[in-house]
Amino acid sequence: MYILCIRILNSILQEGIQNFDLILDLAISEAVKDIKSKVQVLANLEKNEQTDVIMDKWRFAMLLQLYFKRDQYTNVYEKIAEIGADFNHPKDMDGLIYYFPSTGISIEKSWANYIKEQCKRFGIHCP
C-alpha cells in the first residue's frame, strides 16, 4: 500500500506544495518518530482546508502505510501508539492504542475499521 501513500504525496506536490524535502522524508521514512513537526509544516502550507483535516490526512497516510507493512515490525502496536502520541491521541484512535481501555473489538479489527472509514472520508479507494 506504499503506492497509495506515494499517490497522496504526488497529488499534494501537484497542488504546488513546497518543501519537497519534508514530503520526501515522510514518504521514505522507516521510522515513525519526530514526524509531527514535519506534518505541521506541511499542514501550514495548505490553504484550502483546516489544519485538523490536513493532520488527519497525514495521520491516516502513516497508519495506512504501517497497516500494510505491519508484518515487517515486531512492535507494530508501539508504532501505532507513537503515531497516536504524535497527534495528541485523537478520539478516532481509541481502539488502536494498546494501552488505552479496550473498546471490545480487537486492535486489528479496529485498525481495519479505521482504514475503511478514513478511505471513505477522504474518497480514496482502498483494498
Total number of domains in the chain:
1
Cα of 11 vs its chain's centroid, Å: 16
Mean pLDDT of 6-25: 57
**Residue 33 located in a structural domain:** yes
Mean pLDDT of 52-76: 87
Range of the structural domain that residue 85 is part of: 2-122
**Residue 127 located in a structural domain:** no
- Ranking 1-5, 40-44, 82-86, 111-115 by mean pLDDT, the lowest is 1-5
All three cell numbers of 44: 501550514
**Residue 8 located in a structural domain:** yes
Classify the C-alpha dihedral 63-68-123-49 as positive or negative.
positive
pLDDT tens readout for residues 76-126: 999 999 999 989 999 999 999 999 888 899 999 999 999 999 988 877 777
**Using CA atoms, how far apart are residues 54 and 48, in angstroms rounded to an integer?**
10
Q: Would you say residue 18 has pLDDT above 60?
A: no
pLDDT for 17 equals: 47
In terms of pLDDT, which residue wins out, 97 or 12? 97
Q: If we measure between CA atoms, which residue out of 77, 78, 26, 79 comes closest to residue 55? A: 26
**Residue 6 located in a structural domain:** yes
Cα of 27 vs its chain's centroid, Å: 11
Q: Where are the alpha helices (DSSP H) in 1-127?
A: 2-14, 20-28, 36-45, 51-68, 76-86, 107-122
